[in-house]
Amino acid sequence: MSRYLFWRLLQAIPLSLGVIVLTFLLIRLAPGDPIAVLAGERSTAEYQAQLRKDLGLDQPLPVQLVRYLGSVLSGNLGYSFSLQQSVLSLVLQRLPATLLLMGASLLLSVTLGVWIGVRTAVRPHTLGSNVATVGSLLGYSLPSFWLGQILILVFAVWLHWFPLVGMTSLVRLTGLAYWADVAWHLVLPTLTISAFNLALFARLVRASMREALEQDFIVSARGKGLPSRIVVYRHALRNALLPVVTIFGLNLGAMLAGFVLVETVFGWPGLGRLTFDAIAARDYPVIGGMFVFLSEAVILANLLTDVLYGAIDPRIRYA
């Protein structure tokens, strides 16, 4: 395993460099001028030229790329044009809010999705199984930004059960009251993000469990007289989780992209909202820093997925 991890980390180095270069080029080739946004519509050409020179945007693209690579490799993601703050400090400030939202949504979607998948696989022709199948298909099909707006309209505007936007109320709270307020604001964005992932995991676990329950080792376990609970959760589920781990690792990039939409809809002060504001302001350093950060997170998630494979299935060995 240690040898395998070593080679995977070596492979991650050129992949990370490629991501940095590609991100830099795509951002520079995108339409829009950050100087026009920063300087304003009524600024003079002389002021825009001076501002472009101060920010280093007057240099040729290869020179900017070399400087950016050196900056990133030294741990400096740049300095925000619009927010007048280092990109790394901005990421660290917004990261806890995104991790809180991601953790809550993953906990809900994985736990409930696996449970629904197992129950519908064990009892495939019941009314509850049919309802869960239709519900998972619906949750899989709904766009997150549309679902978020519907939840806001119904539960925040009409019923007044939950707040409209934000992570906390305007009233300053401390202690348990503060965390209760955060949890209150967390409900709707968590449900929005979890809908797709919950449906995906439920359908995937159901299909994997149906296949695992028909294997010979399950028939052998039942023939030994093992309780049904042990056969289902200790033997069948362990084999059925392998596709779930795979989809989880591959789907992490889509999940992170979904946070941009959901955090924007709910005004959640995380990395997704930071990315959206940076794109609107044509803030090149923040956009590049966010793409680099999220890309490295995806690379790390794929590596952890491979490691989990060996932990779940002892038959897998890494040469």
Where does the pLDDT of residue 187 fall: very low under 50, low under 70, confident under 90, or very high at 90 and above?
very high
Q: How many CB atoms lie within 10 A of CB 155?
A: 17
Q: Angle at Cα 104 formed by Cα 103 and Cα 107, nearest 5°?
A: 80
- Contact between 85 and 79 (Cβ < 8 Å): yes
Residue 190 has pLDDT above 80, yes or no: yes
The per-residue pLDDT for 313 is 64
Where does the pLDDT of residue 162 fall: very low under 50, low under 70, confident under 90, or very high at 90 and above?
very high
Q: Which CATH architecture has domain 87-312?
A: Orthogonal Bundle (1.10)
The per-residue pLDDT for 211 is 85
Question: Residue 79 in 3-state DSSP?
Answer: strand
- For the record, the structure tokens of 157 come out as 């505007």
- Among 176, 239, 183, residue whose Cα is nearest residue 212: 239
Mean pLDDT of 254-262: 73
127-to-72, 132, 133, 181, 194 alpha-carbon distances in Å: 55, 9, 10, 37, 23
The per-residue pLDDT for 189 is 93
Q: How many CB atoms lie within 10 A of CB 283?
A: 27
The torsion of the CA quartet 303, 199, 316, 297, rounded to 10 degrees, works out to: 0
- For the record, the structure tokens of 145 come out as 């930004």
Query: For residues 198 and 194, what is the distance between their CA atoms, to the nearest angstrom?
Result: 6
Query: For residues 82 and 147, what is the distance between their CA atoms, to the nearest angstrom?
Result: 31
The per-residue pLDDT for 295 is 81
Sequence-separated (6 or more) residues with CB below 8 Å from residue 194 = 105, 108, 109, 112
Query: For residues 278 and 285, what is the distance between their CA atoms, to the nearest angstrom?
Result: 9
Q: Where are the domains of the chain?
A: 87-312
Tell me, what amino acid is at 64? Q
pLDDT tens digits along 71-116: 888 878 888 877 888 888 998 999 899 889 988 988 898 889 888 8
Residue carrying structure tokens 């026009």: 36
Where does the pLDDT of residue 184 fall: very low under 50, low under 70, confident under 90, or very high at 90 and above?
very high
Query: For residues 47 and 60, what is the distance between their CA atoms, to the nearest angstrom?
Result: 20
- Contact between 104 and 305 (Cβ < 8 Å): no
Computed over every residue of the chain, the mean pLDDT equals: 82
Residue carrying structure tokens 């990395």: 271
Q: How many CB atoms lie within 10 A of CB 30?
A: 11
- For the record, the structure tokens of 108 come out as 């809900």
Residue carrying structure tokens 């401390």: 174
Mean pLDDT of 182-207: 89
- Contact between 102 and 255 (Cβ < 8 Å): yes
Percentage of the chain lying above the pLDDT 90 cut: 9
Q: Where are the beta strands (DSSP E) in the chain?
A: none
